[in-house]
Structure 1
Amino acid sequence: MASVPAISIQKLRKVYTVNEREAGLLAAVRSLVRRRTRDVVAVSDLSFEVEAGEMVGFLGPNGAGKTTTLKMLAGLLHPTSGEANVLGHTPWKREKDLLRQITMVMGQRNQLVWDIPTIDSFELNRAIYRITPSAYRKILDELTDLLDLAPLLHKPVRTLSLGERMKCEIAAALLHKPQILFLDEPTIGLDVVMQRRIRSFIGEYNRRFGASVLLTSHYMADVEALCKRVVIIHHGALLFDGDLSALIDRFSPYKTIVVSLETMDDEHVLERYGKVIERQIEEGRAVLQVPKDQTASVTSRLLADLPIRDFTIEDPAIDTIIEQVFEQEAVCETF
């Protein structure tokens, strides 16, 4: 028997009607009598599913409709049309049974009370979600251990650094042990070390509690570390839905070979093996771009012909591939 998806959306659409007027006093007066409006499509007939326990990267450029989609799935916005099902519920009906099982973390929004200790905000969430004292102590202990929160619990939120506050924000959002996590840029603005810790925690929470995660991020390291599958949208419409490896195969026909030579007397010596996209002559290092189907033969020639000190073969960075996806879409739109 097939499992029921944790999240399912079908032809979801959100259109905003916005007012328009020209600059100037006369235009302002005219707008009092006749107001001009236009429709802005934020999400356009979007359809996909997320299985129970699955972590999916939800990607797109600024203005693609990612946050609007997450807000509809969290019940914060009503769609213009289409259907959505989250754990068997229609999210915008805001049913209590659903609200107890979902959470949304937005990296640029605060839910902690600014002037009181973090633990007091946690207690407030405990009361809101009606978590029993024993269950609260258990999950708080787990979150404190996973996120190293002990030194932060009794500090006023306003005294915390951005990274410390983000850890506490995530903990507050998970006190009720939700089964669905909508994460909108949870590591934005954090340093590399803190990004890594937040990613590690999200992965551990998924493994420990089997939660489904829909993650948006401009940091491709977040997606690569956590998500085997990605959904990419542009102008509110679906561009790609599949494995990260399939995305690489589809949109990147090249491999990169990083070569370190014992000596590089001729700076052009590597150009007959592939396209040189980076060159450091003093270090004897260069980066080649070669077609995937020629990688093996080029590697053999390099090893046979040149004094290789070290080399690695890599797929291009995911953010580079994402850029190629949007570039191809932009080219298609011009025809």
Structure 2
Amino acid sequence: MSAQYSELHKVQFDKIFHRYHSDYNALKDMYMHDEIHNHLVYSCQQFCNETLNIYEMSKCSFYLHCIYLGKYLYHTRNTDGDERERRCKYFSYKLMLEKNNKSLKCNNVADCYSKMFKYMEDRKLRSLSDLMNCKNHDENIEDDIFQIFHELDKLYDKIKLVEWGNSSEGAQREIINIYKELSKKGHDEKISSLISALNAFKETYDMKINSCNYRNEYLRLPVYRPVKSRDNESEQLLLQVNISAKSEVTTPETQKLINHGTGDIVGMLSLTIAIISTILIMYKKNLFTSKIFFLSYGCQYTPYFSFIRQMIRKIMRMKNKKSNKQLNLINTFEHTYNNLNDNNYRIIYSSQEKH
């Protein structure tokens, strides 16, 4: 396992997103009336002047982001241990992103970090220590880790459009494409923290589109299922067969389950015989039709209902066939009886006419 591969698996993506992403955005409008805000304003102005040679803050694209990063660091001042390390990892990513996008004139993340707050250092301001809590964690982020951070950042930036109901189909498809690519990477490289982070994002996404008035217009995130090779599935099946063949010794627990299963079978057969006997008795006494619904309903939710239902249907057909024969016999008798009455009437009428 390479060092880079090992480092990738150490990053706790699921504990960084979306918590620190949310904190970073929420802190932009905080501390506006605190002393730290003024110190950050002067420090970031000096960085634009001395490092970027830009003297109009409206033209320094890094100016506001410098203040945002300073507020994020100030918010992190009371953390320690793994919590601080994760927060500083996100800070390093954001500073590296600004360095790449704004072409900052500093060698690396650590160099940019030091130059950002030189104003406070020169004046020996006490609040500087509140911003230096990531000094031991200011590192360049490896390319593959940086890319995952960037894609997760974009996912949570774009989900705001879904929440506000302003998400176009193009933006939704971009979310889906990013999600699919990260899911594939997480499963292919077995990055469990990335998979967990994506599961959390999917829950958030689904919740937001379900609460939207126009949720039918939103696209659903797919469920990524890695394709397993058929050879691997065959090996697993063969292994299961071999394990079953070797299991020759029956444990007391297994024997107890077998006895319990045998008792269930005997009980089911006994109950079935009792029900069939009841059906036949009712059939003989012409009570079958009135009680058949009760038996059908009573057995409907039992495991052997399908078997009993077939027998009930056969007996019903026999019952109906017998009823049809009886009906035909009655109709024939009535027809013959009516014919005889008609003939007798004609004979009596004819004899009366002759007289």
TM-score class, shorter: under 0.3
Q: Which has the higher helix share?
A: 2
TM-score, normalised by the number of residues in structure 2: 0.21
- Greater Rg over alpha carbons, structure: 2
Q: Which has the higher strand share?
A: 1
TM-score, normalised by the number of residues in structure 1: 0.22
